[in-house]
Structure 1
């Protein structure tokens, strides 16, 4: 296992650039039932708060564990704040980033009228992350006598029900592989979309490698990371003739501190840029406005377009007044896209939430994407 060298928060703090006039920062993790995963996120937030002490930093989670987003916002309000920056600590922009987190912020505004959020973006295909993985791959090479031209890189992503997010995973993997010297690249996901881990390993073996390097593109440890390492352990038993090296998750690396600061500054400045051309929600609304229905042939219900927007109905309609919420999706293009995304940002962002992020939601339900055909049938549908 690679021994990742991580700078202390104290040493990182010495090089932290100051950013005046910042709002308190709400850092939103995905959430996990795994105690190690939850603890790692809380340690990350604590370390980041020590790295930059210029404003309060409060942790919370979207689902599966506490404190919830509502509890995080309540804590900010209790401290006397009515304006804050909210950052999703997520790698790619899928449903959680575009849909579920914003719904929770809207719920908070409904409970605390007058609240204003500057909403930041995910980490995405960031150059800092590319360099982090390149550095770790270089360090891993020093622990092996097998050259890259006899090795396969197996990139493992989380997987999402959003084709745009999955496409970014492929892009990042390809950027890492281009010019790397690895004999081959295979990509798979831990769940939701395909190919899954079994298929990823099967594809890796077809290269007849002498070494397989597993790169799990995950922020923190948790049940999924442990499962990925379990596959690597089994591969070592099945193929003792092949060297299997597994990188750890990103973890508490100063690179994440720097990325959080960048995303925070973007949000405050109203410079949050996202790719909306391939947003499944925007596509669904655009097709309905043209009378085409969703990409799978199923039309969105008429009331879902009542506000001229994609109406992610989470079970409660709450006016997503972007004059107040600020949500700061200036997106570089004001989220109007020239096509208004079906919502004009004065709109009713009627996020609702079929699976109740009152946090009763369970990931233990039957897998609706168990087969590749199951995923293909649902990939472009919106909630």
Structure 2
């Protein structure tokens, strides 16, 4: 890596290389600025840096000059060169930090573009452009991330084609939420409806995603954001669970005298989410004619899967169906099959089966679209999550951080 000698530096030009600006010629602007600096022997005095999105996509391409704190809309290479030589006209300035305000309320028109054309363009886009941004958890197993992307692709047929649909991830996969929001803005979205693809309402949906939305609201003050609720307890999830049981030959409409269903969740530290999981087990039991539907967790929370199996055996179950409540495939399913092998040795008189994981069932598409509609029509409980997060951040502070790629 080059170490820049800052001894003689007098100005720093930050050139936006976000994808909107890049699409509008930021690379050519960057090269023109650097060429002009070299031509005028200013290499030691003016330092340039490429940045990611600066949150003013409509003013593409954006160049910020420090220490004077001026933000410019650079729509051709000559304007970039003029910034270097100090001959840039005021009409290209978006913001002047030293005067503490926007240089102009309306964006400048470049020479050669008539106002009538601009107005026509505005008339065409008078309908608010909406985007639905689905947020998957993200997995270290790339196959799990592909499942999410493919699932959302398959879901788009249920959504108005005028609405932009994008997918992003909380962690471990790209794009992350920040990049997902930026992508929606770059594609012209004025309203972004963020919908978590998460089974239970816990820390991620209560804190981490709201933190990302709040951060984006600061970056894009002109954009309206709403937030959807998690999948949670919904009639559709029981239909999926019953289908998973049917797939392994279990008839949900018959009486099963000595059968226990062990619903297995990932497990987490959120008490409400764990409570909701127990509620799902109880409601599933109400729909089946089995003596027992028990709950167990793969990690963090108790009872563990070992304890759940032991409990079913103690009750007298001769058959146990492990019903995994996970959205995507991966390490947990592999671990569950290994566990089952051990249980067969420990409990040789008990028939232990594993149903397919909950997963991205077609019926889940309708649940998620319903969650998106609630966010758009203002009936989603997700907005309360944003409010709760704001209060929490005011009282305790909250540092925005990027999640892992």
What TM-score range do you get, normalising by the shorter chain? 0.5 to 0.7
1:218–1:250: 8 Å Cα contact kept in structure 2? yes
* TM-score normalised according to structure 2 size: 0.62
2:383 to 328, 336, 339: 328
Aligned equivalent of 1:96, options 196, 204, 209: 204
Alpha carbons of structure 1 residues 222 and 22: separation in structure 2 relative to 1, 3 Å: farther
- Displacement, 1:350? 7.2
Q: Does 1:41 align with 2:148?
A: yes
Among 133, 140, 143, the residue aligned to 1:26: 133
Provide the secondary structure at the position in 2 that maps to 1:206.
Answer: helix
Structure having the larger proportion of residues in strand:
2
Q: Give yes or no for contact 2:128–2:191 (8 Å, CA) kept in 1.
A: no
Residue 229 of structure 1 deviates from its aligned partner by 3.0
Matches within 5 A, 1:117-128: 117-128=225-236
Give per-residue Cα distances to partners, 1:187-237, cap 9 Å, x unaligned. 111112111222222222212322111111111212223322332233234
CA distance in structure 1 between the aligned counterparts of 2:173 and 2:332, rounded to whole angstroms = 16
Quote the RMSD (CA, aligned, Å). Answer: 2.9
TM-score, length of structure 1 as denominator length: 0.65
Structure 1 or 2: more helix by fraction = 2
Superposed counterparts of 1:331-342, under 5 Å: none
**Do the aligned residues in 1 keep the contact of 2:263 with 2:296 (CA within 8 Å)?**
yes
- What runs of 5+ residues in structure 2 fail to find an aligned partner? 1-126
On the 8 A contact 2:206/2:389 being kept in 1, the answer is no
Give the Å deviation of 1:344. 6.6
Q: Given the alignment of the two structures, is residue 233 of structure 1 paired with residue 341 of structure 2, yes or no? A: yes
Deviations 1:249-283 (A, max 9, x none): 2223221110011101111111113xxxxxxxxxx
Aligned length: 277
Partner of 1:352: 398
1:1-383 matches, cutoff 5 A? 23-52=130-159, 54=161, 55-142=163-250, 148-273=256-381, 328-329=383-384, 348=394, 352=398, 356-359=401-404
Alpha-carbon separation, structure 2, partners of 1:82 and 1:348: 27
Task: Give CA deviations for 1:83-134 in whole Å, capped at 9, x if unaligned.
Answer: 1110011111111101000111122223323222110000111111112212
Is the 2:278–2:295 Cα contact (8 Å) retained in structure 1?
A: yes
Once residues 247 and 241 of structure 2 are traced to their aligned partners in structure 1, the CA distance between those partners, rounded to angstroms, is 10
**Structure showing greater relative contact order (alpha-carbon pairs closer than 8 Å, 6 or more residues apart):** 1
The corresponding residue for 1:322 is: none
Q: Which shows bigger deviation, 174-183 or 259-268?
A: 174-183
CA spacing shift, 1:171–1:56, aligned 2, 3 Å = same
Alpha carbons 1:268, 1:328 under 8 Å: kept: no
Q: Distance in 2 between matches of 1:90 and 1:32?
A: 13
Cα deviation, 1:273-296, whole Å, max 9, x if unaligned, reads 3xxxxxxxxxxxxxxxxxxxxxxx
Q: CA deviation at 1:64?
A: 1.7
